Structure 1
């Protein structure tokens, strides 16, 4: 998820979960690959207006020629409100908390950049869009607060992350594409680098677990 106090280690936003839930009992699962690594996501509609989500992000990259590596594990959970706007329109707002662990080494002959940290993240994420049998589209903005810990150091940072998400397929299985950007609220005060681009592709499946009457 993020790096700290180094050149190459960066904050890497995970995929924004945009379920666009429709009805009670709807269960979604999705798997993505992109700049943040491997990102699994799940969402479930507890009622016709209350949903929950579980998101993860994992990466394990190694450069054998330089002995450099990057490893991170991130998991977060959230709860939110959703509603229909007409037949196809959707509005939802989710908020939640996550925790991350990261290790990386991007050292070379000129510098040593080693990171070993953990962090907490809080977010709130409103989204608006539409969901049909063939296509889902949405615009979301995730507001993020990071609290980062390394050794005896602690640092807080804030980001705004707008994304667009498109899902194409038929009813229960769709291919997913997401593109967005991560903007620090106070970029001149940042003491670590970050990944400004959110880009991922994946596949999503959904079922309705509520028995039909």
Structure 2
């Protein structure tokens, strides 16, 4: 079992290229703030993720994260041709989550940082079943829509380096996602009742995910360019009617944006 999970992780880049699944779970960007001191604040801003973290004491912090995925900006809404090689172009939705955690600088220069956060989120995603791509022009998207809501619980330890010019972190996030409220359009999987049943049963059991993320920030003091590569690996082998529930989860994500950092150490770093 463990070997299978390791092989799955190694194969993810290829899966991202070849998969044409229906994504009803897109993992949000991992918030890895690497805070060092009381009253420090950090925000990460990108097109689909918005995150903030604030240190309420010298070792305790809170975070709030938001996500909204909509690929209409990149694709013609009237276009019902096949998906991009990397993503399901019809996926739309997101989540809101919050967490609390512990952080500590672990070297004398306070550049190496360890932190761990735990939290809860709630969200929803919807997409279109693949047969919509070959449907006649003017076909209602609602007839092919797949939709689900979910609760999410997560724990994420991080180890990283934080400097006024560059930051880097590795964060192995563990998430448990419980889907509920699945709905399916009247024409979705119209000729495949087993596949319909498969989708409607996604919420039967909570799905654990291993979501390791690699984060890099480069800039100077208050403002840095932010980039993150993350994988999302379901840690079970559930199948319903011969179909793997993993078909509905986006396996890899790459995000870029801007990171803002405000704190006493950031202010003082300009004097050195």
Whether the TM-score (by the shorter chain) exceeds 0.5 is yes
The separation in 1 between residues aligned to 2:65 and 2:37, in whole angstroms, is: 20
- Choose from 80, 96, 105 the match for 2:119: 96
The separation in 2 between residues aligned to 1:69 and 1:199, in whole angstroms, is: 18
- Quote the offset at 1:20 in angstroms: 0.1
Q: Is 1:47 matched with 2:57?
A: yes
Aligned to 1:125: 156
- Choose from 125, 133, 146 the match for 1:108: 133
Q: Give 3-state SS (helix, strand or coil) of 2:34's partner.
A: coil
- Choose from 94, 100, 105 the match for 1:73: 94
Aligned to 2:71: 61
1:1-213 matches, cutoff 5 A: 7-33=21-47, 38-62=48-72, 63-66=77-80, 69-86=90-107, 87=109, 88-106=111-129, 107-109=132-134, 113-149=144-180, 150-151=182-183, 154-155=203-204, 156-189=206-239, 190-191=244-245, 192-208=247-263
The separation in 2 between residues aligned to 1:105 and 1:13, in whole angstroms, is: 18
The separation in 2 between residues aligned to 1:9 and 1:195, in whole angstroms, is: 6
197-206 or 67-76, larger mean C-alpha shift: 67-76
- Quote the offset at 1:186 in angstroms: 1.2
Unaligned 5+ runs, structure 1: 1-5
Q: Do 2:25 and 2:125's aligned partners in 1 also have CA atoms closer than 8 Å? A: no
Number of aligned residue pairs: 201
Considering fraction of residues, name the structure with more helix: 2
Alignment deviations for residues 134-172 of structure 1 (CA, whole Å, 9 cap, x no partner): 111111100010000115852311110111111101111
Q: Give 3-state SS (helix, strand or coil) of 1:108's partner.
A: helix
- Quote the offset at 1:31 in angstroms: 0.7
65-74 or 155-164, larger mean C-alpha shift: 65-74
The separation in 1 between residues aligned to 2:167 and 2:35, in whole angstroms, is: 11
- Quote the offset at 1:194 in angstroms: 1.2
- Quote the offset at 1:7 in angstroms: 4.2
- Quote the offset at 1:73 in angstroms: 2.8
Q: Flag the structure with larger Rg.
A: 2
